[in-house]
Structure 1
Amino acid sequence: MNFSQIARPLCLTSLLLASPAAFAGPSPQGEWRVADGTATIRVHRCGAAFCGNIATTITPAGKDIHNPDPRKRNRTVLGIEVLYALRATGPNAWSGYSYNAQDGQTYTITVSLASATTLRVQGCVPGGGACGGETWTRAR
């Protein structure tokens, strides 16, 4: 058996066993400043998807008073998960859900990397409600 007969199966096996992250392109991971500058959201991997939590606020963090679950209305907004189940839908694009602590609503969203330093977030109220969007800038 020569080297190429041994090396080819080893290379193919290595490719098959490599983690999916090895093939991943750009991702939304990082810390992003929301459009009005009042908070940053830390986007991270959560299983096969991405999630995001409120990392910082420029004023003392308020309470989640608009949450539809009365048991959660006294919790601080700092650290709560506001983006979840973001899954790739194409190059530099993901879709999932966003919880907005300012109105207690959950939105379906699409997130796309407009550049290495800008993240476009667009959302709609499920069921055909109002839609809107904003651009976040990379904080870290």
Structure 2
Amino acid sequence: MKRFLISTLAVLALGGIAHADPIGEWRVADGSATVQIKKCGSGICGFVASTKDAPGKDVKNPDPAKRNRSVLGIEVLISLKPNGDNIWSGYVYNAEEGQIYTATVSLAGQGVLRIDGCVPNGGICGHETWTRIK
């Protein structure tokens, strides 16, 4: 019985590693903000949780009605759906530019999240790495 319990725990632990998720709080690459990632329906999404400086406004948003809103609480990881082991695809909003990019988010190691974004139909891509806040 003891061997069975140990084997079962080992399988569960390995399964947790293989299917880790990014739910939690992450610091963006330049350290200027944190993003809270949570489950949203069958996928995940992320919202600005804090900023290093006084929260600014979403002044570059293409929708004039949204330009006066605070960046705190805005959704920046949008409609991310599973697309493989530890990979999610959807969209990312960059408030500094007011642009939405297609995105792939992947766990790149313990406490490391890689965000790859591309201009839709433009072929111009970039990436950054976020770190998990414990």
Shorter-chain TM-score bucket reads 0.7 to 0.9
Runs of 4+ in 1 over 2 A off after TM superposition: none
Aligned residue pairs total 118
1:48 to 42, 46, 49: 42
The 1-side partners of 2:22 and 2:83 are apart by 13
Aligned to 2:133: 139
Q: Unaligned regions of 5+ residues in structure 1, if any?
A: 1-21
| 1:116-139: CA deviation from partner (whole Å, max 9, x where unpaired) | 200000100101242100110001
Give the Å deviation of 1:35: 0.4
Structure 2 matches for 1:1-140, cutoff 5 A? 25-140=19-134
Write the letter of the residue equivalent to 2:36: R
Q: Unaligned regions of 5+ residues in structure 2, if any?
A: 1-15
Aligned to 1:7: none
The 1-side partners of 2:75 and 2:123 are apart by 22
Q: TM-score, normalised by structure 1?
A: 0.81
CA RMSD of aligned residues (A): 1.4
| 1:76-102: CA deviation from partner (whole Å, max 9, x where unpaired) | 001100011111111111111011110
The 2-side partners of 1:68 and 1:138 are apart by 30
Give the Å deviation of 1:52: 0.2
The 1-side partners of 2:41 and 2:85 are apart by 19
The 2-side partners of 1:104 and 1:131 are apart by 16
The 1-side partners of 2:48 and 2:41 are apart by 19
Write the letter of the residue equivalent to 2:119: V
Write the letter of the residue equivalent to 1:76: S
Write the letter of the residue equivalent to 2:111: T
